[in-house]
């Protein structure tokens, strides 16, 4: 059973434990503990580099940190964040996702609903993790999303569409618990909460 099948099999049975690492030492520790997934997030722009947001993170940054994490994590699958503008076109997305896989990622995560990009990645055997709710790459402010009915419906619809496209899991970031529950019950892919 590959890691995608293992993660999908946990839906409704076990919680999925995904933690973030940006370096060899943290990845090694997380690998020894035995979590389900390690995310090398573009949050490294804020947490590791000290920037006010994730918008300054480049593909070179992501490749560098994924390589370091891959040296530390020998068993745990690694998910690499696709930084802003790295998936503006299908061609960009394929080229950049392949770079992250070559660096040591087992799959990629991207923010929002980008149907053509996600379909192309999955058709090319690149596992994709979706991400709805608060999307740091495009957010003007960091706040809970989905409090208003229209926004909640759009987030739910995006999650349903991501599921139909074949993402193996979906990150729910900064949304109300009731919306997270509704999304989780409405789709086949497992969900992973970040402040949700």
The C-alpha atoms of residue 182 and residue 102 are separated, in whole angstroms, by: 36
The total of other beta-carbon atoms located within 10 Å of residue 147's CB is: 11
How far is CA 40 from each of CA 9, 104, 132, 170, 178, rounded to the nearest angstrom?
Answer: 23, 11, 17, 15, 28
Q: Is 173 an active-site residue?
A: yes
Report the SS3 class of residue 13. Answer: coil
- What would the DSSP string read from start to end of 88-141? SSHHHHHHHHHHHHHHT-SEEE--S--HHHHHHHHHTT--EEEEEES-TTT-SS
Instruction: Say which of 102, 173, 177, 185 is annotated catalytic.
Output: 173
Catalytic residues: 173
């Amino acid at each position: 059973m590959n890691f995608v099948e293992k993660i999908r099999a946990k839906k409704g049975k076990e919680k999925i434990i995904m933690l973030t690492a940006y370096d060899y030492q943290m990845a090694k520790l997380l690998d020894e503990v035995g979590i389900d997934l390690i995310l090398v997030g573009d949050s490294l722009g804020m947490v590791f580099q000290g920037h006010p947001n994730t918008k300054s993170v480049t593909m070179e940054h992501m490749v560098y940190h994924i390589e370091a994490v891959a040296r530390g994590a020998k068993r745990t699958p690694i998910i690499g964040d696709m930084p802003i503008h790295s998936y503006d076109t299908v061609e960009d997305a394929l080229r950049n996702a392949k770079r992250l896989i070559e660096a040591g990622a087992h799959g990629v995560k991207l923010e929002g609903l980008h149907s053509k990009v996600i379909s192309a990645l999955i058709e090319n055997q690149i596992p994709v993790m979706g991400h709805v709710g608060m999307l740091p790459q495009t957010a003007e402010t960091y706040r809970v999303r989905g409090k208003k009915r229209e926004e909640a419906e759009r987030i739910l619809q995006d999650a349903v569409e991501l599921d139909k496209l074949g993402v193996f899991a979906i990150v729910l970031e900064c949304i109300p618990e009731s919306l997270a529950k509704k999304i989780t019950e409405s789709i086949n892919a497992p969900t992973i909460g970040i402040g949700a």
